[in-house]
Homo-oligomer: A and B are copies of this chain.
Amino acid sequence: MTTPNPSQGTLADSIPRTFEALRNHVIERHGMLPKRLAQVAKFALDHPDEMALNTVAELSAAAGVQPSALVRFAQSLGYSGFSELQGVFRSRLRDRWPDYQERLTKIQNETGGDADSSSVLGRFVETSMRSLARLPESISGEAFDAAVSLLARARTIYILGQRRVFPVAAYLSYMFGKLEMQHVLLDNFGSMIDIQAGSMRANDVLLVITFTPYTPVTVEIANQAAARGVPLVAITDSVFSPIASLTGARLEVVESDLGSFRCLTATLTLAMGLAVVSAERRRTVGESPSNS
């Protein structure tokens, strides 16, 4: 791609920007460091979490070193000071996620120069991956299970997602169709969403997706459904969503955003998972939709 062979060279060593790079760098020259600096180096690699969160004073005390030794250590690596070094440890704390870490740093390296537009694509990919990595954390097994069993039991699934999240709703409609699960996409054509939603019954389920800023019509329909005893499965981005109080099962997705645009990747992936697992559950468990 863009960068043919960026690092490896012994010349012009750039200062390490990722924890992995820093680690290798330090290990490599650990032997030829002065005593106190070597001590700092060892401490830093042994206690990366502390390095990220504590102050110079605390760290120096913990490492049995003078504060200045920490600053010197950072500067000897090429950083302007300790704070810059700490930044590396902090980003590690933010981004650490299994296995994919190396992949991410690879992406970061490959898109090092912000000059050309393809690197922007790299940033988008990075953001999307970060969203995805957080998804399993933010969705508890119980919540997911609850949602799945509601969907598996439903006679008809009504899908409600307007504006920004409409693509997710559309995709769900496509999948449920392929999975041969009866569903209705509340797309509000001709502003007739109330008519479309009019046939919801208590043995159906309303699958509602809503993010800030919450589309009024979505909130309204969800409220009506709840009032009529229709179980709700909600995919939302905050515990403060206006439909939080009335949901049967609530799944919270934290999407990172790039610029002013929130990406939908995690939400889409969650939707996919929900649809597939619900369909599986309906078949294997033989939970046929309840008929009243």
* Interface, chain A (partner B; CB < 8 A): 1-2, 23, 27, 30, 42, 45-46, 49, 52-53, 90, 93-94, 96-101, 103-104, 107, 110-111, 114, 116-118, 120-122, 124-125, 128-129, 132-133, 135-137, 139-141, 144-145, 148, 163-164, 166-168, 170-171, 174-175, 178, 189, 237-240, 254, 258-261, 263-265, 268-270, 272-273, 276-277, 280-281, 284
Contact = CB atoms under 8 A, between A and B. Distances in A.
| Closest CB pairs A-B (n = 6) | A118-B141, A167-B167, A167-B171, A124-B273, A121-B273, A265-B265
A264 B132 CA distance: 13
Given A46-B237, A128-B269, A100 B141 contact: no
A155 B140 CA distance: 47
B261 A175 contact: yes
Contacts of A178: 260-261
A95 to B, nearest CB: 10
Nearest to A142: B118
Copies of this chain, complex-wide, total 2
A146 to B, nearest CB: 10
A120 B1 contact: no
Given A132-B129, A133-B103, A53 B93 contact: yes
A124 B269 contact: yes
